[in-house]
Amino acid sequence: MEEAESAIMCVYDPGCDQVVKQRANQYCEGLKASQDYWRPVFQLLVATSKPEVKFWCLQSLIDVVNHKYESLSPQDCTHFRQFLVSWLVELYPRMDAQPPFILNKV
């Protein structure tokens, strides 16, 4: 998780070295190439306190809904919905504390 978080932070850091940023981007795209990458993305979303990482995770989950949801097995669709609903229920009491760009993704 720490490696993914570091890579995501580098992707959004304008001061990050371009070579390192390119490797970080490749790492993040590699994560998204896995069929069930949404599982570790949900874990990272819940575990992180960094808004940039939450933003990336939410964008990745939106990509799953828009492009890969239909190819998920019925069991994975159920798990995906359960993870999403439980995260939203947990987040709701703290919604006001979230940055606007996170709220827009939600």
| Mean pLDDT per 10-residue section of the chain, whose length is 106 residues | 91 94 94 87 90 92 91 93 87 68 69
Q: Is the pTM of this model over 0.85?
A: no
Helices (H), 13-50: 18-33, 38-47
Q: Residues of 52-67 as b/e, b for ≥16 C-beta within 10 angstroms?
A: bbbbbbbebbeebeee
Q: Which amino acid is at 89?
A: V
